[in-house]
Amino acid sequence: MTATATGAPTAVDDRPVIVVGGGPTGLTAALELAYHGVPSIVLEAGRQRGDGSRAIALHRTALLVWERLGCAEPMLEQGTVWLTRRTFFREREVHTLLMPEPSAGELPTFVNLPQYRTEDCLLRRLRATSSIDLHWEHRVVGVVQTDSGVTVEAQTPDGTVRVSGSYLLACDGARSSVRKLLALRFPGTTYPDRFLIADIRTDLPLPPEPRFFFDHPTNPRSTVLIHPQPDGVWRIDWQLGHSASVADECAPDALRRRIRGLIGELPYELVWLSDYQFHQRQLARLRHGRVFFLGDAAHLVAPFGARGLNSAIHDVENLGWKLAWAIQGRAPESLLDTYQQERWPAQRHDQRVTNATMRFMAPRTRAQRLRRGMILRLSTVSKAARRRVNSGRMSQPFTYRSSPILVRGDGWRERWPNAPRPGARVPDVACRIVAELPVRDAPVTWLRRLIGGGFLALYFAADDADALRFAAGVRAERHPGWVAVRPVLPEAPRVCGVLPAIWDHIGAIGKGFAAEPGALFLVRPDGHLAARRRRARPADVARLVAVAAGNSPTTADGG
């Protein structure tokens, strides 16, 4: 037995979590649980795949999760970083999205890497993790849950097996067997337009950046997307329309004409070919007892804007620490309900954004077609029209706005301009971590590398004396051991009593948080802000952590 921050005893469950699905979502979920000290069993119906780009664009917020889990380095080494995304009407550029050039140690905004390579990086890390048991060719055919656990039945080449665990994470994709076994409706829409996708290896005389075309001469009244990949491979997506015959379009001569229309007479090799339709679907509830749905098993969005895989990793990041803390007795089981309260609105937001994109890309009514045609024609001469050209709003981390574990107050709406709001992902900024004196050897690092295992309380101190006073007050209070209180100092610390400390050597943290001396920011293990105070007291730390971990009720103003 252990005790929560409120003193209520909670049993520690040492049974593994069952993860169904061995794609990027399931593999990341198993690694995330292992990071938090929770064992898991991964059941994958098929075998490891080795071809096809599929989910290709990795956002930095997914990369920072994989960095913390120890598998981002090979992704960054293999992937193609791009800083510009260009949108064309016919052959005229009408919109350019520019990404900032990452500085040393900073993660790029987007990296392109074929999904099978992402999976390979995750698998290599997983095989080196002793608390994860991975089983291929285990197709789940039965799920039984009780108040105390879950048992699944899986068909394997050697017969039927049963696996028991504490909880089940359904990460088994768009055709989720777990979702079907629980007889859950998957409401939403399937767009009638079909798309053809080809990976080709060729030496295109283009910079490594995505290019999106409306009404390209080789695909009139439809769209074409070109994405760079490593090793000279380019991905091409053609919109075919709803009446096209995929078999006819995949025929060698037809496909060759399509490719030649884009690359001319350059030699090329066809690496992979597939087709797809867009789906916009979302479960009404992401939690069903001890079963949780993540990624494509829970929600499907059109891929433009890279909101599929990246959003799935945000699901994992949100649920992982909560599930671990509930299992380990750090937090009540009710904390798990906040997965629904936070991630469901995030997915609904993605649905709205991608629905708007699809209405523009694949208009379904005469009015939508007329509007799109007018905007595209005007975009060649009007900046206002260019802003309305929608080829996919790129993925961004969601700000959780309605959750019982966010502590508001201190003018969280209007009175603290430029400061991150409760529920927002905190900025990643450069700083120095000072563990011992003298400070000349203190390494430059990034704030993201301090986030993950527990809560991080950043206290912006005026000087060493202020930091010492606050630290002494915190020590005098009863607070849980899973929060690290770190003073943020504008000048290099001079006394050992404030260590370890964060030296804001270039002022980046103060600017990123719009913080003045006396401010406190409480960061959750998933990098989202749990609470903030302009004028903090040492007693605030324990109380805010209790609320943010679900161990204490919150009030409307957080006071």
What are the tens digits of pLDDT across the range 93-125?
Answer: 999 999 999 999 999 999 999 999 999 999 999
Average pLDDT rounded to a whole number, residues 13-22: 94
What are the tens digits of pLDDT across the range 220-270?
Answer: 989 999 999 999 999 999 999 888 899 999 999 999 999 999 999 999 999
Average pLDDT rounded to a whole number, residues 446-452: 95
Distances from the Cα of 311 to the Cαs of 61, 320, 390, 477, in angstroms? Answer: 9, 14, 20, 38
Helical H segments across 137-186, by residue range? 177-181
Query: What is the spatial distance between Cα 480 and Cα 5, in angstroms, rounded to a whole number?
Result: 6
Average pLDDT rounded to a whole number, residues 408-433: 84
Tell me what pLDDT residue 555 has. 43
71 near 121, Cβ under 8 Å? yes
Q: Predicted confidence band at 51 (pLDDT cuts at 50, 70, 90)?
A: confident
Tell me what pLDDT residue 358 has. 87
Helical H segments across 303-361, by residue range? 309-328, 338-361
Q: Predicted confidence band at 5 (pLDDT cuts at 50, 70, 90)?
A: very low
Instruction: Show the beta-strand stretches assigned E in 242-333.
Output: 268-282, 287-288, 291-293, 299-300
Phi, psi of 144 (to 5 degrees): -130, 125
Tell me what pLDDT residue 480 has. 66
The amino acid sitting at 479 is: H
The amino acid sitting at 200 is: I
Tell me which residue of 457, 471, 468 sits closest to 546, measured CA to CA.
457
168 near 143, Cβ under 8 Å? yes
Q: Predicted confidence band at 413 (pLDDT cuts at 50, 70, 90)?
A: low
User: Would you tell me how many other CB atoms lie within 10 Å of the CB of residue 370?
Assistant: 11
494 near 437, Cβ under 8 Å? yes
Q: Which residue has the tokens 């909880």?
A: 167
Distances from the Cα of 130 to the Cαs of 39, 398, 448, in angstroms? Answer: 9, 33, 26
Phi, psi of 415 (to 5 degrees): -90, 10
Query: What is the spatial distance between Cα 35 and Cα 20, in angstroms, rounded to a whole number?
Result: 18
Domain formed by 2-79+108-187+280-359, architecture: 3-Layer(bba) Sandwich (3.50)
pLDDT at 8 over 70: no
Query: What is the spatial distance between Cα 321 and Cα 301, in angstroms, rounded to a whole number?
Result: 25
Tokens of residue 384, six digits: 């206002």
Least confident among 181-185, 431-435, 520-524: 431-435
Query: What is the spatial distance between Cα 446 and Cα 505, in angstroms, rounded to a whole number?
Result: 12
What is the fold of 430-548? Glutaredoxin (3.40.30)
Tell me what pLDDT residue 98 has. 95
Homologous superfamily (CATH) of 189-278 is D-Amino Acid Oxidase, subunit A, domain 2 (3.30.9.10)
Query: What is the spatial distance between Cα 288 and Cα 144, in angstroms, rounded to a whole number?
Result: 12
Tell me what pLDDT residue 442 has. 85
Tell me what pLDDT residue 503 has. 96
Tokens of residue 190, six digits: 């399937």
- End-to-end C-alpha distance for the chain, whole angstroms: 32
Tell me what pLDDT residue 243 has. 84
Query: What is the spatial distance between Cα 364 and Cα 516, in angstroms, rounded to a whole number?
Result: 52
What are the tens digits of pLDDT across the range 305-343?
Answer: 889 999 999 999 999 999 999 999 999 999 999 999 999
What single DSSP character describes residue 334?
G
Tell me what pLDDT residue 171 has. 98
pTM of the model as a whole:
0.94
Phi, psi of 247 (to 5 degrees): -60, -45
What are the tens digits of pLDDT across the range 356-370?
Answer: 988 898 888 999 999
pLDDT at 557 over 50: no
One-character DSSP codes across 2-40? EE-TTS-EEPPP-SPEEEE--SHHHHHHHHHHHHTT--E
Q: Predicted confidence band at 10 (pLDDT cuts at 50, 70, 90)?
A: very low
pLDDT at 37 over 60: yes
Say which residue, 345 or 554, is predicted with more confidence. Answer: 345
450 near 433, Cβ under 8 Å? yes
- Going from N- to C-terminal start, the domains of the chain cover 2-79+108-187+280-359, 189-278, 430-548
What are the tens digits of pLDDT across the range 474-495?
Answer: 988 776 678 999 999 999 999 9
Query: What is the spatial distance between Cα 40 and Cα 33, in angstroms, rounded to a whole number?
Result: 7
Distances from the Cα of 52 to the Cαs of 68, 121, 236, 394, 424, in angstroms? Answer: 26, 15, 12, 22, 34
Tokens of residue 121, six digits: 């990086």
Q: Predicted confidence band at 393 (pLDDT cuts at 50, 70, 90)?
A: confident
Buried-exposed string 68-106: b where 16+ CB fall within 10 A, e elsewhere:
bbebbebbbebbbbbbebbbbbeeeebbebebeeeeeee
Percentage of the chain surpassing pLDDT 90?
Answer: 82
Tell me what pLDDT residue 554 has. 57
pLDDT at 556 over 60: no
Query: What is the spatial distance between Cα 274 and Cα 187, in angstroms, rounded to a whole number?
Result: 25
Q: Predicted confidence band at 6 (pLDDT cuts at 50, 70, 90)?
A: very low
Tell me what pLDDT residue 362 has. 85
Tokens of residue 267, six digits: 């030699």
Tell me which residue of 529, 525, 536 sits closest to 421, measured CA to CA.
529
Query: What is the spatial distance between Cα 543 and Cα 548, in angstroms, rounded to a whole number?
Result: 9
pLDDT at 46 over 80: yes
The whole-chain average pLDDT of the chain stands at 92
What single DSSP character describes residue 425?
B
Query: What is the spatial distance between Cα 391 and Cα 212, in angstroms, rounded to a whole number?
Result: 7
Considering Cα of 317, then 355, then 249, then 90, what sign does the dihedral take?
Answer: negative
Tell me which residue of 342, 307, 392, 344 sits closest to 527, measured CA to CA.
342
Give the DSSP H or E segment for 375. Answer: helix 366-378
